[in-house]
Structure 1
C-alpha cells in the first residue's frame, strides 16, 4: 500500500500556496507613468562605490561647474550643460570624492533614471539622474606635510648655494632644473608705474634663500652636497648602518600606496603552482621566489615596481626630442585599467613635470610631459626598487631591467651608480646560481648596494696653464 504524501506547510489541496505575493497587482489595474523634466540644476544622483565601503553618516558637500562639452548626450538640460561633484573630508584619514567618469564605447551613451511609485494613486514618476563614481584617497598626515615642507626648504637653499659657487657644469644643471621648477611669469601684465614686477612665490622663496645660504668661504664638501641634493634620484640615508636603511620602502613607494595594492591573486597563483605572466622580465624572473617567501610588504613593493615599469613603457617620444610625453588619460587607462585610476594617476602626479593636471584632463594634448630631470628621477626610483626587492640581498643583475626599460649598458650603469651602487662582473658563484655560461656572463653586470655608499663625484675644472 502506497504511503500518502503529506502536504507541504502552507499549501492547499491543489498544491498552490495559500498566501499571495504582496507585490502582485490585481488584474485590470493600470499604472500611470509620467516623466519629470530635469529643469532644476540639482537632480538626483546615482553613485557607485567600486571596491569601497563608504560610511553612510558622512555628509557630502555638492559642487557644480559648467561642462566643457556635451559628451554624454544631446539636448539642452542641466545634466548635459553642467557637471556635479560630491566631496567630504569628515573622515579622519580619507577624503571621499564622487564625480562623473565618462567611459569610452557605449558607456558614454547610457542615461540613468530614478522612479518613484505611489501605490495609492498607481502613478510612477520618472526623473533623470546623474551617474557618479565615489572614490577615496588617503590624506597626508600633518607630520608628512611638515617633512615635505622642510625638505623643500633645504633643497632650495642648497640649490642656491650651488648656483653661487658651483662649477660651470653644475650651475648649468641647476639652472635647467630651476627653469623646469619655476613657471615663467605671465606676459602682458604690466606692473604699476614706479613699482617692480611681482615675482612668482616659488621664485621669491629661492631668491630670498640665496642671500641667507651663500656665506663666504664655501668648502668643496658643501658644493658637493648641494649638487647631490639637486640630482634626480631618491634621497639616500647617508647615516644608514645597513643597506636596507639607505632607501626605505615607504620613501620609494610613497605614503599610503602599499595599502592600495592587492596581491591576493599572485599568492593564490603561486599556491596553486600556476604560472604568472607579466610584461616585465625583471618581475617575471623573481615573482615566484618573492611570493613564496610570504613577505606581503615585499610582494606589494614588487607589484608597485611592475606598475612603474608598465607606466614607463607607455610613454611617447617628446616632440622636442628630450624627455617623454604622457599619453592622454583615456589611452593610458585603456592599457593600465587593471591597476585602477587612482594608482595610475598617482604615478603621473608624482613623477611628471605638471602631473597635478592629469586627473583633471581626459586629453592632455601633449602638455603633460616628463622632461630629462623627471625621466631620470623615475628611472632611478625604478633602479632603487630593483635593488630593494631583489631576493639576492641588495644586489641585482642589471640585464633584466635594462631590457625592460630598453636602455643601453652605459645608461643603465649610470643610473645604478647615481643611487650609490658599485658595478662589478658576476662572480663564479653568482654565474652558477643564475645559470649563466661564461660567454653569456659578458653581457651581465651586477649592481651592489654596499656601505659606505659611492656616488659620482663632482669634477673640478682644470686650471689653464700659463704661457711659457
Structure 2
C-alpha cells in the first residue's frame, strides 16, 4: 500500500489567500518507471530516437530483491549515444519524479533512475568487435582505414575500396603466375612518365591562374579575365578613388598604392584601381575564413560582413570554397569551407593581381602584414606563380629612405622572362646509418 502524508502550508504574504492542502503519495515500484537523463558535455540532434532497455540483475546474497538495470540507446548514422545509471560522488542516489493531479491536489512520487549519457563513434565499435573476434591488435594503418571508411570523403572511401579489391595474397600463387604478372608489369610500365614529367604534371595541376608559357613579356603571362570575371569587374566601383576622395583602405598595401595613383593626374587609372579594390576584397575574404578556421557561414552573411557585391561574393564561393551536404537532422544542409589548398589558391591569385598593379616587381612587406602570414608562406606563393625572390638594391632602399637593416625585411617578388617555377619534387635518397 502506498504511504500517505499530508502537508499544510501557511498563507504567504506574497500570495492572496491560503494555499490548498496537498496529498503526497509514493507510488509502488514499477517495471516501467520514468527515467531521468543527463547529457553533460554532449550535444545530441533533437530528432534522435531512443529505445529503453531493462535488465534484472541477480541480487547479492544479503539482498532478497532483484535489482533492475536500465539503459537508453539512440544513434545517428555515425554516432551512438548510450545512457546508463552511474554513481554520484561514490554512491547511488535515489531520484523521484512527481506527478501532480490538479483535481485532487495530489502528488504521486515515482522512483526514477537517473541515466548518464556517453557518446561512441560507431566506426570504433565495429573496429573493436573485429579485434575482439580475431584476438589481434589492430595496427595504426588498419585503425586509420576503419576511420576512413566511416568518416572519409567519397573520394577517399572509393580509394580504400579500390585498394581492398586490388589486394593480392601472393602466398596462394604459383611460380608461373607470379612470373607472368612481373613480365606484364614490366611491359606496361615502359611508357610510364618519368619523374620530371610527373613533376611537370603536378605543377600544371596547381591552383594557379592559366599560364601563357609562350609569353615574350611579363604582362603576357597571365590574363586578368582568368582571375576577375567580366561580371565581377563591372560591379567594382572606384569613382571616389579616381576623384581622390575616400582613399582610406584597411589594407596598407592597397592604401599606399591608391594614394600613389591619385597623385598622377596625367591619365585615368581605372584598371589598376579596380584591381586594387578587388585585392582588398580578397584580403578581407582570406582573413574572414582564417578566423573561422576555413569554415564559412551562408553566402549572404559573408556578403554582409565584408560589404561586397553579391556577384563578387558568388565568385569567391565558386572559386575558393568547397560545398558539403550534411544529411543529419532529417534535412539536407549545405555548408561551405575553405580547405588549405583553396586558401593557397587565394594567395596565388592575389599574388598575380599584385604583380599586375606593381609592374611585375612587388615589395611584399605590406602585403605580408595585411594577411598576417609568415614571409616564407607568402614568398612561396609568389614563387609558385613564376617569380624569383630578391632583396632591395641599395639605390632602391636609399631612395625609400631605409636603412640596410630595414631593407633586409623587404623582399621583392619579380616576374621575368623566362619564367622560373619551383622545381618539381623528387624522391629523397634513403638516409644511411653511421
When normalised by structure 2's length, the TM-score is 0.51
Structure 1 residue 381 corresponds to structure 2 residue 352: no
- 1:269-418 correspondence to structure 2 within 5 Å: 270=244, 274=245, 276-291=247-262, 292=264, 293-317=267-291, 324-337=294-307, 339-354=308-323, 367-390=335-358, 393-418=359-384
CA distance in structure 2 between the aligned counterparts of 1:182 and 1:431, rounded to whole angstroms: 51
Q: Is 1:315–1:327's contact at 8 Å kept on the other side of the alignment? A: no
Looking at structure 2, the residues matched to 383 and 371 of structure 1 have their Cα atoms a distance apart, in angstroms, of: 18
Residues 275/263 of structure 1: CA separation in 2 closer, same or farther (3 Å cut): closer
* 1:200-211 matched pairs, under 5 angstroms: none
Deviations along 1:259-279, one digit per CA (max 9) or x if unpaired, are 1212112112x1xxx451111
* Separation (CA, whole Å) in 2 of partners of 1:283 and 1:381: 16
* Backbone CA RMSD of aligned residues: 3.0
Question: What runs of 5+ residues in structure 1 fail to find an aligned partner?
Answer: 1-178, 186-212, 358-363
Q: Contact 2:232 / 2:311 at 8 angstroms: preserved in 1?
A: no
Query: Which of 218, 228, 246 pairs up with 1:253?
Result: 228
Q: Is the 8 A contact 1:234 1:252 kept in 2?
A: yes
Question: Which structure 2 residue ranges, 5 or more long, are not aligned?
Answer: 1-151, 159-187, 326-331
Query: In the TM superposition, what whole-angstrom CA distance separates every residue of 1:386-411 from its partner, at most 9, and x where no partner exists?
Result: 11112xx2101110110111011111
- Are the equivalent residues in 2 in contact too, given 1:395–1:448 (CA < 8 A)? yes
| 1:436 to 1:459, Cα distance in 2 relative to 1, 3 A | same
Match for residue 228 of structure 1?
203
Is residue 433 of structure 1 aligned with residue 371 of structure 2?
no
Secondary structure of 2:389 counterpart: strand
Which is higher, the Rg of structure 1 or of structure 2?
A: 2
* Cα separation, partners in 2 of 1:288 and 1:216, compared to 1, 3 Å: same
| Cα gap change, 1:181 to 1:256, in 2 (>3 Å) | farther
Contact 2:389/2:412 (8 A) holds in 1: yes
Q: Tell me by how many angstroms 1:341 deviates.
A: 1.9
The answer to whether the 8 Å contact 2:282/2:350 transfers is yes
Q: How many residues align?
A: 245
More strand by share: 2
Q: TM-score, normalised by structure 1?
A: 0.48
